[in-house]
Amino acid sequence: MNTPETSLPAVERVEKPALVLGLGAMVLCAALGFRDPAQFFRSYLLAFVFWIGLPLGCGAILMIHYMIGGTWGFPLRRPLESGIKTFFLMVILVLPILFRLPLLYSWADPAKVQADPLLQYKHSYLNVPFFLVRTAIYFAAWLLIAWFLNKWSHRQDETADARLTARLQSLSAAGLLIFGLTITFASVDWVMSLEPHWYSTIYGMIFMMTEALVAMATMTLTAILLAKHESLAGMVTPRILNDYGNLLLVFTMLWAYLSFSQYLIIWGGNLREEIPWYMSRARAGWTGVALLLIIFHFAIPFLLLLSRFVKRRAELLGWLAAGLIVMSLVDIFWLVTPAFNHAGPEFHLTDWLAILGIGGLWLWRYASQLKGRPLLPLHDPRLKEIMQHG
């Protein structure tokens, strides 16, 4: 039987510092929150929305791999499975938001609902009890899918039962549909409803692409860091790195296409209910953030990822993946923060502390799970066939 990886130096160097950083930043952020609760919850929501995208993106990429196969997915199988195990941590981290909804959402404040006819019209959907029920449904669905994906993968390691591959494929087909629906509704609930007068039918798909992109970038960095480990010797080749670069290119292009499509439809429609959302993100300093996204979240990565020279070199691809993670955070910042501040971007200490706090805790949980399993699913019949053919 394949044995767990008991010594992963690259992972062990990160695990404990991430926990210390996460706990320390969360304590400081909470302390500042007593002075300004509203800003604390705004910062916390920003950080949570970004970091929840990692396990969601990992789950989607893992299920895509189960459905279509391909050599590219086998070095990422364990990191992806470790990523979806962090859902348990995210269940705990979402709780602070649920206790103080009126500080974030106008539809959760009875006085604002009473004064706004549109909020009264949407009250049957945008109300606190139903919001809590929907959030519970989202996490229940994600946890259940993650549990079965890991359970059957672990059983395959123990029994070498080839039938489990078909079972994982069937689960992935249904799981991707469930992920698509729940992520769409979650993005509407958690972010789009910050500005309840505005709506977009493409919004959920944009979030899916952002989450897939940041997860793929994180998994690419993980594969590069673990490439020298004996279990992955000969697996993370320039050809595999080229595949990872192609996936990053696909997700970057889809993000840009969906974002531009939403802008084109809304701006071309010239509807007074929808255009103000873009107007608030095209004034003062927000214009600079939008240009930053166009240049560094699409144009430059797009051009670099067209090059095989960049994609086949671990160091270059690693830096590019890290840059995409940072720009994905800027993208979430551009989507969330203007709902509270139309005058221009302001950076608060709680923003950085919340991002570092939740991020440190997520990274600690991710690293601790990564050590518990063998890095390659050697009993997967598709991997055996690939290795037999070199």
The string of DSSP codes covering 248-313 is: HHHHHHHHHHHHHHHHHHHHHHT-TTTHHHHHTTSSTTHHHHHHHIIIIIIIHHHHHHT-HHHHT-
What is the per-residue pLDDT for 216?
97
Q: Classify residue 307 by its DSSP letter.
A: -
Please report where in the chains the tokens 């893992």 appear, as a residue. Answer: 62
Q: pLDDT (tens digit, 9 = 90+) per residue, 236-266?
A: 889 999 999 999 999 999 999 999 999 988 8
What is the per-residue pLDDT for 271?
72
d(CA 10, CA 371) in angstroms, rounded, equals 11
Residue type, 109: D
Tokens of 121: 């019209």
On whether residue 2 sits in a domain, the answer given is: no
Mean pLDDT for 295-320 is 96
On whether residue 386 sits in a domain, the answer given is: no
Question: How distant, in Å, are the alpha carbons of 64, 79, 254, 256, 328 from that of 264?
Answer: 30, 37, 15, 12, 21
On whether residue 24 sits in a domain, the answer given is: yes
User: Given pLDDT bands bounded at 50, 70 and 90, which one contains residue 277?
Assistant: confident
Contact between 93 and 358 (Cβ < 8 Å) = yes
d(CA 102, CA 89) in angstroms, rounded, equals 24
- The tally of CA atoms less than 13 A away on the side-chain side of residue 126 is 27
Question: How distant, in Å, are the alpha carbons of 39, 43, 93, 129, 141 from that of 99?
Answer: 15, 15, 12, 12, 22
d(CA 24, CA 281) in angstroms, rounded, equals 33
Contact between 157 and 377 (Cβ < 8 Å) = yes
What is the per-residue pLDDT for 1?
44
What is the per-residue pLDDT for 387?
63
On whether residue 131 sits in a domain, the answer given is: yes
d(CA 39, CA 28) in angstroms, rounded, equals 14
On whether residue 327 sits in a domain, the answer given is: yes
C-alpha angle 50/53/58, rounded to 5°?
A: 145
Contacts of 104 (CB under 8 A, 6+ apart): 41, 42, 45, 97, 194
Split into its structural domains, the chain has a count of 1
Q: Which of 17-26, 149-158, 188-197 is least confident?
A: 149-158
Closest Cα to residue 370, out of 169, 213, 225, 209? 225
Residue type, 84: I
Closest Cα to residue 330, out of 366, 286, 374? 286
d(CA 145, CA 58) in angstroms, rounded, equals 12
Q: Which of 155-169, 201-215, 289-303 is least confident?
A: 155-169
Mean pLDDT for 362-387 is 80
Q: pLDDT (tens digit, 9 = 90+) per residue, 54-84?
A: 999 999 999 999 998 888 888 899 999 999 9
Q: Note down the domain range covering 296.
A: 16-381
Q: Provide the percentage of residues in the chain whose pLDDT is more than 70.
A: 96
Largest CA-CA distance found in the chain, in angstroms, rounded: 69
What is the per-residue pLDDT for 3?
53
Contact between 263 and 333 (Cβ < 8 Å) = no
Mean pLDDT for 116-133 is 95
User: Given pLDDT bands bounded at 50, 70 and 90, which one contains residue 7?
Assistant: low
Q: How many CB atoms lie within 10 A of CB 347?
A: 10
Number of H helices, E strands in the chain: 18, 0
pTM (two decimals)? 0.94
When the pLDDT of each residue in the chain is averaged and rounded to a whole number, the result is 91
On whether residue 389 sits in a domain, the answer given is: no
Q: Which of 129-143, 260-274, 322-336 is least confident?
A: 260-274
pLDDT at 2 over 60: no
Residue type, 192: M
On whether residue 4 sits in a domain, the answer given is: no
What is the per-residue pLDDT for 5?
57
